[in-house]
Chain A
């Protein structure tokens, strides 16, 4: 059976080498712009080959689940659609409710997130937060 870490190392080596070769040929970068990437790619190749010979590491993030990763990534489309100001409190509320938190506590969490976003990031830091595609269309 193919080990995932070996697959990852091989994929990284191939991607890095492909980029360097592309830069030297089709990309047409001048020689001095290629030197250091080529040296770094050499390092990736040599140490990658050495790492391939090693046994798989023990432990690692064994308790990590795919659903947790998907939960985290889900915030991204939400932010694109609704903007930070709406998406982050909404996400906090849904995340807490989905994990059997009482509606009141979930609501308080969402309000807390909204207050920090507004007070710290918008008022103090002066960040211009976009409203997102959907919310922006309504607000416009």
Chain B
């Protein structure tokens, strides 16, 4: 193991690898900053460039671009109120109220620091667990994945501020619209209204952009400035944000652990991790009602989990050759292009490459945060750009971001349709984050429950890990109430 680690270190320091990392880092951050362009798009665009590259350098190139997207996206989520990628949607919930209160610097500083720590945590988890994780992942079958997805749904009410009934209503609506299109097991098309586009169901990026970007653009077009104070980001605010993260190490580590666990399990969906981390932070907070009104913990938790999940997602890809997400599926393709075969024998034959990827993941997360800190004086000026110049530019990015997912004009139209839904949510206090979380988790719950029932029958709930997950779910549901009652008694 030590030999492999030394070999990995020396491979990582090769000029070709350093060059690959240095060129992919700004590309990944740019894709994160631009609304609608995800890590998946970054990988899809960059894959042709790995032909002819040395194997490890090519992988480092792609992994770097993919891993730092959410770091860039956090800045867009806070400064513009538009999630750079769907995984940054949970950051909007508290990031925007902080920005509106003139605290965008604190929020961005906290988000970047949490992202860096989360990314390093995810890489360390990968490093520690890589050699021993096989039995754990094998223990996670469809039944466990179903319960984990269901656990995510129990957090619907805890995402964001406002009335729980309205949050759950929005979440249930999000779940319902996720069922439009082919049923995952029988393949029956549902609620498609003889409209071919709906056969595959609604798509995530138009939904996320519609819910978050369009209401923000309408508010800007109505003459509202992005930041009430119209100030620039002072360095002290960024430092305050950093300090806020180090004052909440427990929260960062817990959120990172949530991200890593969700990343490891294929099928749950990486977009879930930040929402679950947010909800867990809220439930364990002594001040849960302040979440959604601009609390720094509401930025730290989703951002830490966001970057930590990438390390987790690498585990099934390397250990089994089973991609945990669509981004990892492309990385798997790149492995094959570069003549490497991930799977059970990969770590035996190429442990140094596996460990090298861990090192890359840790280093690029820190570098991305440092680079974004350095760029903040320039990026921060965006909040003081007059709306009359900002709106057409952001609208272009949002529309082309939606269009670029499939090259389909329907996605652009549905961005506006969901924009109307987003506006109604903002106007009447329905929780947009809950709607998005319901939409992400609905299909996973349905798919894995059906598979579990077909394989194990209704008794699947008595599988050991399932029992643990059920206990955790009950604890997550009732712990906040018990905690607040205990606090009240003590007071």
Chain A contact residues, CB within 8 Å of chain B: 4-5, 8-9, 12, 16, 19, 23, 27, 29-30, 32-33, 36-37, 40-41, 43-44, 47-48, 50-51, 53-54, 56-57, 60-61, 63-65, 68-69, 71-73, 75-76, 79-80, 84, 88, 91-92, 95-96, 99-101, 105, 109, 112-113, 116-117, 120-121, 124-130
Bound CA–CA A73/B215 (angstroms): 12
Complex Cα distance, B41 from A31, in Å, reads: 37
Q: Which of A8, A37, A101 contacts B179 (CB 8 A)?
A: A37
Partner of B395, one of A72, A120, A124: A72
Name 10 A/B residue pairs within 8 A (Cβ), A-sorted.
A23-B190, A40-B179, A41-B176, A61-B219, A64-B423, A72-B221, A72-B391, A72-B416, A72-B419, A95-B392
Cβ proximity bits B151-194 to A, threshold 8 Å, 1 near / 0 not: 00000000000110110110111011001000101101011000
Contact residues on B (Cβ < 8 Å of other chain), bracket: 35 or more
Any A CB within 8 A of the CB of B381: no
From residue B111, how far is it (CB to closest CB) to chain A in Å? 24
The reply to whether A64 and B412 form a contact with Cβ atoms under 8 Å apart is no
- Quick one: which of A57, A69, A79 contacts B163, CB cutoff 8 A? A57
Question: Interface 1/0s, chain B 214-228, versus A by CB < 8 A?
Answer: 110111011110000
Instruction: Please tell me if the beta carbons of B389 and A36 are within 8 angstroms of each other in the complex.
Output: no
Q: Which of A23, A63, A73, A109 lies in contact with B389, CB distance below 8 A?
A: A109
Residues of chain A with a CB closer than 8 A to B169's CB: 9, 12, 43-44, 47-48, 50-51
Shortest Cβ distance from B424 into A: residue:
A8
B388 A99 Cβ-Cβ under 8 A: yes
Closest partner residue, chain B, to A108 (CB atom) = B389
Which residue of A has the minimal Cβ distance to B183? A33
Q: Mark B419-456, 1 if CB is under 8 A from A, else 0.
A: 10001101111000000000000100110011000000
A41, A64, A76, A128: the one contacting B218 at CB < 8 Å is A64
Q: Point out the residues of chain B lying under 8 angstroms from A32, CB to CB.
A: 183, 185-186, 450
Q: For residue A19, which residues in chain B have a CB less than 8 angstroms away from its CB?
A: 191
Q: Cα distance A116–B215 when bound, in Å?
A: 23
Q: How far is the CA of A51 from the CA of B173 in the complex (A)?
A: 13
> When chains A and B are docked, how far (Å) is the Cα of A61 from the Cα of B24?
39
Pick from B162, B183, B391, B404: contact of A57, CB below 8 A. B162
Q: How far is the CA of A44 from the CA of B413 in the complex (A)?
A: 25
Assess the A65–B222 pair: CB atoms within 8 A. Answer: yes
CB distance from A25 to the nearest CB of B (A): 13
The answer to whether B427 touches A92, judged by C-beta atoms less than 8 angstroms apart, is no
Q: Which residue of A lies closest to B422 (CB)?
A: A61
Q: Which of B409, B419, B449 contacts A130 (CB 8 A)?
A: B409
**Interchain CB contact under 8 A, B186 and A91:** no
Contact of B45 among A56, A60, A79, A125 (CB under 8 A): A125
User: Are the CB atoms of A36 and B188 closer together than 8 Å?
Assistant: no
- Min CB distance B80 to A, Å, is 15
CB distance from B146 to the nearest CB of A (A): 12
Q: How far is the CB of A103 from chain B (nearest CB, A)?
A: 13
Q: Which residues of B contact A40 (CB under 8 A)?
A: 172-173, 175-176, 179, 442
- Look across to chain A and name the residue whose beta carbon is closest to the beta carbon of B187: A33
In the bound complex, residues from chain A placing their C-beta under 8 Å from that of B183 are: 29, 32-33
- 9 closest residue pairs by CB, A with B: A57-B429, A43-B172, A92-B392, A68-B221, A99-B388, A50-B165, A5-B428, A47-B169, A40-B176
Tell whether B399 is near chain A: CB-to-CB under 8 Å. yes
The answer on a CB contact under 8 Å between A117 and B222 is: no
Question: What are the residues of chain A within 8 A of B218 when measuring CB–CB?
Answer: 61, 64, 68-69, 72
- Contacts A50-B169, A68-B221 known; list 12 others, CB within 8 Å: A19-B191, A27-B190, A41-B176, A57-B166, A60-B426, A61-B215, A61-B219, A65-B221, A65-B223, A84-B399, A96-B392, A127-B407
Task: Say yes or no for B195: interface residue by CB 8 A criterion.
Answer: no
Bound together, the chains give a CA A19 to CA B193 distance in angstroms of 10
Contacts of A61 in B (CB 8 A): 215, 218-219, 423, 426-427
What is the distance, in angstroms, from A39's C-beta to the closest C-beta of chain B? 8
Bound-state CA distance A5–B427 (Å) is 9
Is B403 an interface position by the 8 A CB rule?
A: yes
- Would you list which residues of chain B between 306 and 342 have a CB under 8 Å from chain A? none
Chain B residues near A113: list those with CB within 8 A: 392-393, 396
B295 CB–A CB distance under 8 Å? no
Among A16, A60, A73, A79, the residue within 8 A (CB) of B429 is: A60
* Residue in chain A with minimal CB distance to B413: A76
Q: How far is the CB of A88 from chain B (nearest CB, A)?
A: 5
**Measured CA separation A64–B442 after assembly (Å):** 32
Residues of A within 8 A of B45 (CB): 124-126
Given contacts A109-B389, A128-B407, contact A63 B427 (CB under 8 A): no
Chain A contacts for B41, CB-based, 8 A: 125
Q: Is the CB of A75 within 8 A of B427?
A: no
With a CB–CB cut-off of 8 A, which chain B residues contact A101? 388-389
CA distance A71 to B449 in the complex (A): 45
Chain A residue nearest to B192 (CB atoms) is: A27
Tell me whether A44 and B173 are in contact (CB under 8 A). Answer: yes
Which B residues touch A4, using CB under 8 A?
428
Distance between Cα atoms of A65 and B387 in the complex (Å): 14
**Closest A residue, CB atoms, query B34:** A120
Q: With A121-B404, A125-B404 given, is the CB distance from A109 to B393 under 8 Å?
A: yes
Q: Are A75 and B221 in contact (CB under 8 A)?
A: no
User: Is B400 interfacial (CB-CB < 8 Å)?
Assistant: yes
Rounded to whole Å, the gap between the CB of B444 and the closest CB of chain A is 11
Chain A residues near B217 (CB-CB < 8 A)? 72
